[in-house]
Each structure stands twice: as C-alpha cells, then as structure tokens.
Amino acid sequence: MLYQVVLLASIIPFAASAVDITIPLSAPSGAPLVAPDLVSLSIEQDRWVDWAGTTEQNQFFYNALNNLAQITNSPPFIRIGADSEDHTDFSYDVEYEEDIFPASSSVSPYPEASNITVGQGFYDVISHLPFGTRVHWGVNLRQYNLTAAYLETKALIQAFESQAVKTKGITLNFIEIGNEADLYYNNGGRDSSWSVFEYVPQWVQIATNVSETAGLSKTSFTKLIGAAFAGSSNNNISGFSPQAIFAEGILGTMPGALITTISQHRYSGSFCAGSGAILQDLMTKSYIRGNISVFEPDIKATFAHGLKYILGETNSKSTIMPSFRVSNTAGAALWALDYSLFATQVGISRLHFHEGVGYKYNFIQPVTLNYSIVDGSPITPLPPHIQPPYYAAIISAEAIGSTGHARMVEIPIDATDVSGYAIFEHGHLVRAVFINHVAYLPGAGVRSSTHININFDGFGPQQMEVRRLDITYANATSGVTWAGQTYETTDARVSGTLQIQTLNVCDGLDIQETEVVLLSFL
C-alpha cells in the first residue's frame, strides 16, 4: 500500500539547551560494520508453536517479522530456546508439543512451562517463518541425557532438511547446547559443587553427541554457540565466563572447534514495582552504557580467538518481576534503540531481545491474551498486538538500511541526556540517529527540548529529511507513531500517512524529551 508523504515545516518547541556536534562525512577507520538483523529475537521455547502456528502460520507474528525484512531485506535472526530448552524432551507420540504449566499469578501471569514434551511437528513449523530467516536453536543440557539430546537433534535436522524449509531459504545457523548453565547450581539443575570445571566435559560429551547426530564438521554450514551464560565475567560470581571455558580448553575439543560465536545474556535489572524514577533509570544514557560496557573484557577475549560475540538473550527489566510500568512502555523503546546501537560500538554483532507469550517486555504479543500482563487478572480477550519497544526494531532497521554495507559510529555529544549515531554506506555519510533520554512523564510541566547544531568535517549536505518517534509520555503503553505511522494495527502492518520534515542542515533541529529522530541527508 502506498502512503502519501507529508513534508512538514520545522516546528520549534521550547529549547532548554543546545549542543554543537560534528559529524564525519566519511566512515572513520574502525567503524564497525552493522548487520541488518542487529535487532533480533529470542523466543522462549515452551510456547514456540503459538508463535509459529501449527497447520498454518501465525499471520500476525509473520507480518511483524516481515515488516523488518521489507526494510532491510533481511528478517530478524530467531533464537528458539532459553530456559525452557533445558526442560524439553522429545516423544514420537506427540504431534507438536504438550506442556505442563504452573498456575498463573499476579507476579507471573504467563508462567514458563515446567515440562515440555515435543514431537516432530514442533520443529517442522519453522517453515512458517519469513523467507531467508536464520535460526539459532537450543538443545537440552541441564538433564544431561544423551538420548534426549540425540532425539531433539535428529528431529531438528529433519525439519531443516525438509523441502518446505529449504524452499523458503530458512537456515539452521547455530545449535546451542544448554541455556545459562552457570545458573544450574541455584535452579536445581546441579548441586552446589557445580563449576566450570564440570561444565566443560559435560558440554563436550553432549555436544559431541549433537554434532555427530547433526553431521556437523568444520566445513558444515551449521555451527555451535559457545557459553550462553547469564552474565558477564564482571558480575558472574559463579566463575563461568568465556575466558574460563577457553582456559579449560573447550575450543581444542572436537565439538569446541565448531564454536564460531560466543553468546552471553543480559537483563537490565528487575524490580517489584514500577515508577517514573525506575523508567528514567532504564532510559538514562550512562545506565545503558554501563550495562553494555561490562562485557568488554569478555568481548576482547572472544575476539582474541577469532570468534564473534552476541547477546543471545537480552531485554529490559526481568519478566520475573511485575515491572509493567517500565518494560512495556514507550520509554523502553528508547532504551532498546540506544542499547542496540551502542552495543555495536563495543563489538556486539547482534542482540536477541527475549520474547515469551504474555511477557511484559515483549516487542510482539503474538496471540490473544486472556489475562492481564500487569496483575494476572482476567481481561476481555486482547488480540495479538505490538508493544512500544517494537518501534526500536523498526527505527534500527531504517537507520541501518538494506545495502548490507552500513557502518556506524557514535557521535560525540557534550550532553548527558542526548546520544547520537552516524551511519555510513560504502564509506559515505547517509543517516544519523539522535535520542533524547529524558523521561517526559505526566505532571512534568512544559516539555523541553535540546537544539542540535550540526556541523561536518568538510563541505557536507545542505538539507536533511527528518523522521520522528512521537510519544505522548515515556510511560505510555500505546499511541506511539513513527513518522506519523503506526504499527498498532490488527495485522501488525503499518498504517497512516508518512510524515517527513525537510530541514536545512544549517538550521539544526530540536529534539524533545523522550523522542527519537532519524536524519537522512540529501
């Protein structure tokens, strides 16, 4: 569907401050190459068929993914697993899956299944994903059961070798063996003596089984994920880290030689109650950087072995706690965007934002909900819908573009509450993103803005097109628009009239509290 482009004149709100910035016209040496699927997803395995669909695809979920593919020519990379990968068993007597769930509660309205038994159909529905989707799938390590690992892997490979999956170009890029094994000692998976010294030989044994079953080798397309631990070496008191498993010789083993990517997990905290102050904490520029920079020693050690580094599971406030006033808000969209873009600057090549049916921090709620995600109370059935953080994926996709050659650098800004990034294609400046991190909340009074004076390190573009993320308040859970358009529709497809400002670069621009702007230089 075509949309009219509305060119808006510059609207100048109350400017409380001004900053001068200089943007390079050419990509600086060392500017990281940024993949179109930088913002990707991790799906809790227990309700995977709800996301994918069974006899037919879940059209809402498909559309939400396809929106991003249309922008970048690359759908999000999908990880299927997480904690429930370590509670999954296979049975030939099951068609799709049979789950056992704890009772719903106000704290956890949509609890994770305590036991998951799956059949071949559970894996076959991977064919419902968009064309060209890359997949990262988790296999059970916690039960330390060679037969279970063998059966899961056999079914997984059979699915990806099916004609339906091959026709759509959907590929199994990684198998992950065990989720957050560093936490097994306190979730009942192992006793208190559990350590990295026991983990490595157990991982090698199961990984050898999985690799041989899947027919993996150094020349095979599918590789293994390393680590998948719950935190960085800076905050992981259990002693598990990439450095520790490297020191234990994991890369020198047969399956360890198949590790090409190290994955770690990160949440930005958990709170028992939400508030404006906590939302502002989440959105704060320095807080975001602190949550990413803790991984720098792990990333450095990973790169020293010639491996890539991802956050295989991440999100805002832990879904375990009722952090509803934070995780599903418009302010969380700003957090997710800056968190993702800044991650590229320290060597993180991809982030998988974790999703589960009814989870508070979801980008996408893929099925009808019958209980409130806030307190678990019964509600009028709420159809599938996107939540505000989804806009972070849309904006990131538009900023990175579809060429596959985008490089990105953070723009130095002398302000504690404004961040910016410049994007280059084939070495030349094409776009820039700016984020105002101040949480504008009800009762805050006049909404101020920061004026940005733009300079270049040479003779640069004279005009720019501006797209804005329009948000009423940082704690809003709906009513967000991107360049005048909304994805809050019944089918996840974009609706509304595209609104773009055309400004003279020499005039600069204003960015309000709780706002994102994307500049495209003409």
46: left (phi over 0), alpha (psi -120 to 50) or beta: alpha
Sign of dihedral through CA atoms 512, 28, 346, 171? positive
Residue 21 CA from chain centroid, whole number: 29
pTM of the model: 0.95
Find where tokens 């538009």 sit.
398
In angstroms, rounded to a whole number, what is the distance separating the alpha carbons of residues 407 and 341?
11
For residue 408, what pLDDT is reported?
A: 98
- The full set of domain ranges for the chain reads 5-31+406-521, 39-400
Dihedral of alpha carbons 23, 26, 30, 32, sign: positive
C-alpha to C-alpha distance for 135 and 149, rounded to whole angstroms: 18
Q: What is the pLDDT of residue 120?
A: 98
User: Which of these CATH numbers, 2.60.40.1180, 3.40.30.10, 2.120.10.30, 3.30.479.10, describes 5-31+406-521?
Assistant: 2.60.40.1180
pLDDT of residue 12: 44
Q: What is the rounded distance in angstroms from the CA atom of residue 179 to the CA atom of residue 497?
A: 43
- Contact status, residue 514 vs residue 331, Cβ threshold 8 Å: yes
Predicted local confidence at residue 451, as pLDDT: 97
Structure token digits, residue 309: 């580094």
CA dist 321 and 323 (Å) reads 6
Give the model's pLDDT for residue 186: 84
Give the DSSP per-residue string, 246-295. HHTTGGGSTTGGGEEEEEEEEE----SS--HHHHHHHH-HHHHHHHHHTT
Instruction: State the fold for domain 39-400.
Output: TIM Barrel (3.20.20)
The pLDDT of residue 318? 60
Choose among 460, 467, 507, 503: nearest CA to 483.
467
CA distance 367 to 379: 14
> Parallel, antiparallel, or unpaired for β 115-118 and 88-90?
parallel
pLDDT score of 319: 52
Q: Which residue has the tokens 């990105």?
A: 408
Q: Are 411 and 432 in contact (CB under 8 A)?
A: yes
Helices 330-344 & 390-400 angle (0-180, nearest 10) = 40
pLDDT score for 317: 72
Per-residue pLDDT of the chain (522 residues), as tens digits, is 333 444 444 444 556 799 999 999 999 999 999 999 999 999 999 999 999 999 999 999 999 999 999 999 999 999 999 999 999 999 999 999 999 999 999 888 999 999 999 999 999 999 999 999 999 999 999 999 999 999 999 999 999 999 999 999 999 999 999 999 999 998 889 998 999 999 999 999 999 999 999 999 999 999 999 999 998 877 766 789 999 999 999 999 999 999 999 999 999 865 444 457 789 999 999 999 999 999 999 999 999 999 999 999 999 976 544 444 688 999 999 999 999 999 999 999 999 999 999 999 999 999 999 999 988 999 999 999 999 999 999 999 999 999 999 999 999 999 999 999 999 999 999 999 999 999 999 999 999 999 999 999 999 999 999 999 999 999 999 999 999 999 999 999 999 999 999 999 999 999 999 999 999 999
The per-residue pLDDT for 265 is 97
Q: For residue 29, what are the contacts with CB-CB under 8 A and spacing of at least 6?
A: none
